Structure 1
């Protein structure tokens, strides 16, 4: 009599496959979560950088003061407005040019802001004072660096060992983003020179 061929998998083979898949998932999920957080940090930092560049460009094109202003104390939402005589985007007469809402891909991140660049290897304390922003004049340069004027914005997730990105605004109005973990001798994206 001929023996029949078995089809399919035995229970032990199935358990081995499921165990291997569970181990791979346990290894991969934390890396995936970190990748998602890093993507949100990058999205928020690029959004801030784009908003600052729009404000600078609009100020030069219009020949008047244009302000970039953070609109939330807890996330990377912002607004660019023509001031028309005021000092913040909330003042009467201010005209909104464009805005960004952080729920568009930059949720779950934290910001720290300062009116001086400081040491780029030292993280800023978190928190955004009301009406924090920077006003660009008709030459595309910041008009001042007062208590609520930005010169630096740190973007992070608040989770240890995640990356952070720093956006700086120079006195000439140039906007630059850098990674404080990278050395400028080995990477143009670095903040630090060792």
Structure 2
């Protein structure tokens, strides 16, 4: 009599593999959620950086002062407007965002430098992650971790 060889997995082997995968997923899930929160804050500050770079380049191109008015909408997000005098050049509405942003007025003169009397730092926060966008005296823009100092 010949015996047939059966290929495949037993139910016990399959259950062991499922248990191992569940343990690994349980260990990885908290760090994955943390990564998503940090990336959300980073994405919002990078969008703000792009908008601020646009404002600076418009100030140089138009040879006039340009203002970036950032308004905090509390828990429902933020809004930013680029103004040349009273003319609205560009607007970014993040009113559905879960990220909070400090309300500030950034300004650039016709040489692309930070205008006098304007703020130099914007804080972007989500959960426990805070990033800041700093505007140097020469108009340079830098994103770092942490919140802005009180006297910005």
Same fold (TM over 0.5): yes
> For residues 158 and 40 of structure 1, what CA distance do their matches in structure 2 show?
10
Instruction: Normalising by structure 1, report the TM-score.
Output: 0.63
> Where does structure 1 differ by over 4 angstroms across 4 or more consecutive aligned residues?
none
> For residues 17 and 77 of structure 1, what CA distance do their matches in structure 2 show?
49
| Deviation for aligned residue 1:76 | 4.7
Contact 1:44/1:76 (8 A) holds in 2? no
| Deviation for aligned residue 1:79 | 2.1
- For residues 51-94 of structure 1, the C-alpha deviation after alignment (integer angstroms, 9 at most, x for no partner) is 222112211211222111214423354221212xxxxxxxxxx2
**Structure 1 stretches lacking a partner, 5+ long:** 84-93, 114-127, 181-194
- Say whether 1:139 aligns with 2:131: no
> 2:132 aligned to 163, 166, 170, which one?
166
Q: Which residue of 2 aligns with 1:122?
A: none
| Deviation for aligned residue 1:6 | 2.2
> For residues 20 and 76 of structure 1, what CA distance do their matches in structure 2 show?
43
RMSD of aligned residue pairs (Cα, Å): 2.4
Structure with greater helix percent = 2
- For residues 140-177 of structure 1, the C-alpha deviation after alignment (integer angstroms, 9 at most, x for no partner) is 233333xxx42111223223xx4x32211123322212
Question: SS state of the match for residue 138, structure 2?
Answer: coil
**Structure 2 stretches lacking a partner, 5+ long:** 147-152
> For residues 95 and 19 of structure 2, what CA distance do their matches in structure 1 show?
37
Choose 1 or 2 for highest CA Rg.
2
Q: Which residue of 1 aligns with 2:61?
A: 61
Q: Which residue of 1 aligns with 2:82?
A: 80
Contact 2:56/2:108 (8 A) holds in 1? yes
Structure with greater strand percent = 2
